[in-house]
Structure 1
Amino acid sequence: MATPDSSKQSWASGMTFYVVYVSLITAIGPLHFGFHLAELNAPQEVLTCGAKPSISKSLTLISHLRTSLVSKAPSLSGLPTCIPMNPTLFGLVSSIYTLGGLIGALSIGLLAGNFASPGPRANAGYLRSLTSKLPSPPSGRLAQMRLTTLCFVLGPLAEALAPSIWSLAIGRFISGIGSGAALVVVPIYISEVAPPSRKGLFGALTQVMTNVGILLAQVLGYFLSYGNMWRVVFAVAGAVGVAQALGLFFVPESPKWLAERGQVEKAKRILRRVRGRGVDVEEEVSGWDVGDQGQEEEEESLLRNPDSRPDPPGKPHPPKTPSPCSAPSCTPPTAAPSSPSSASWLPNNSAASTP
């Protein structure tokens, strides 16, 4: 029977401050997905030059707070207070975010390394032959997440400074590309760095952060749906993107991704840093099944070059033809030069037969 101390130690195995930090920083990507999904809901009427939303009498204190915040807000000269659009155009601006998400998810899915990473031995050569021409990112999961932060900064910036419908739509499209890509690469990364016994807990973090993003956008939209302040909602998303980009400088590459590409020792060093001291990472690394890659590559080389295959143990070697001249002083025989005609060797015979 397990004691309370042993069960507590088992639950906390691999749980360090660093792995929590890494997971939270990377999970900001799904937070952006939820944020941009809901950012147009609350300020819709103000954004589209419609009627201002009514304030419930039961929320008098909140309404006074919101009014005071708006009265102290700086004016954004040169930018329109609202962007006139009918429901059809507003639906276009809203839905183009999902189009960007689709493109981002499909693009990062091809680059994430799942198709090009070594698979089972029986299918490794076939998969590599199919994916040999696919682009492969040089830095793995980390570079892909940094690429999404670029979208999380440029997209909200275009939205916050949008003077027209189309600039707002472009900003939404860029934000969608980053969000779709983040929903693919972030769960993969978290599953590769999470402690084996806590993968379910860390795996739920992406969905939790998505809901946090929706809540944050709704709250900000409620308080900032006046005048030009709806632009601040988008600016907050850009600031979060900058914070994530800075935080990723302290996030390591996925150790499993490195191990699958032959950098096993570097992967072990990163894994020890993530898991903490006193945690044996050898068993976890051995479970990745990355030790047979060299053997798989050798087998593929033998399949491509049949002459380099070793002979089976029971197959006799063919006898070697002995050299006609093995003595040191022996001169190898030279071949007789070919005659220009078939009758050139018959002069003596013809002379002997002449009477």
Structure 2
Amino acid sequence: MLLRLAYLAVTNAFAALRLLPMSDRDKDAEILALRHQIMVLERQLGADRMKFSPEDRTFLAALLAPLPRQVLRQLRLLIQPETVLRWHRDLIKQRHARTCRPKRPGRPPTVRSIRILILRLVHENPSWGYRRVHGELATLGIKVAASTVWEILQAEGIDPAPDRATTTWAGFLRSQADALLACDFIETVTLTGQRQYILAVIEHATRRIRILGTTTHPTAQWVSQAARNLVMDLEDAAATVTYLIRDRDAKFPALFDQILADAGIQTVLTGVRRPRMNAIMERWVQTCRHELLDRTLIWNERHLRHALRQFELHHNAHRPHQAMNQAAPLRAIPEPLDPGQITRLDIRRRDRLGGVLHEYHHAA
């Protein structure tokens, strides 16, 4: 509004300067022409359809209010003189209200670091309500009103705690990653046309893969024995496992889940045709097919077991994993080389399976 009012003042000031060199006769002629144009506008539009913006009202009130009322009545205007005076009174009231309004200090804004901490607490603890967050802040020595915490959560569009307390599948996987296993069957065909079934298990936290075996006939007895071997392997490795994720494949007998339950491992079934619920295992299946099975001619079951054994060693001891910051399940990230060592690099290559898999290492 102020910008528009300043624009009107400047343009009319230049218009006033234009009138200085004009004679009185020319001014009278222009005034008559303007009055006649106003009459034409009144006939066409009607006085009741005239609308003025707040900036126009302010400018006209400031220009015409100082004139005597008798002069205002003689002027040919689109508005009545009483309207101009009312506009002027409204401007005076608004100015008086702004100058006389008491200034209250109000509540100071919340520090940005506290807002970030509140959002972090809610994100890491979905079941916490604003009062629980307020209590946690009090234990940290941060003095903030509970209503302030509520306002911050409302401003960020965060639902109340009862609507956030439900554990999602992604949240379950994140919170239980250290105690999660996932398994699946992989099918492949040898050169003789024989179909082979591979049973593999992967650890969510370390991405370590365990290939439990291969068979042409995954009977209930064979799958149950694979479960027993898995339990013994986990006991030898002192691994703490609570859950195992698998699909609803009919090749898994009830005894498979019972053996795991006796070892304290609960079986969690994925949804029907929902492979993304077992995404980590499915991703390894894709890697195994792309890097091994699709690039190797498998002669028979013995050859398949040998190839899987080599790929398991490669995957666990050498292959970098993005989810682990390029570390391997059984290999930590080495220390960065010094600039002097980089100039004297001597990198050797080791082949597995006749060159299907390549591993690079420094010369001894």
TM-score between both structures, scaled by the size of structure 2:
0.21
**Structure in which a larger fraction of residues adopt strand:** 2
Larger radius of gyration: 2
Task: Give TM-score, length-normalised by structure 1.
Answer: 0.22
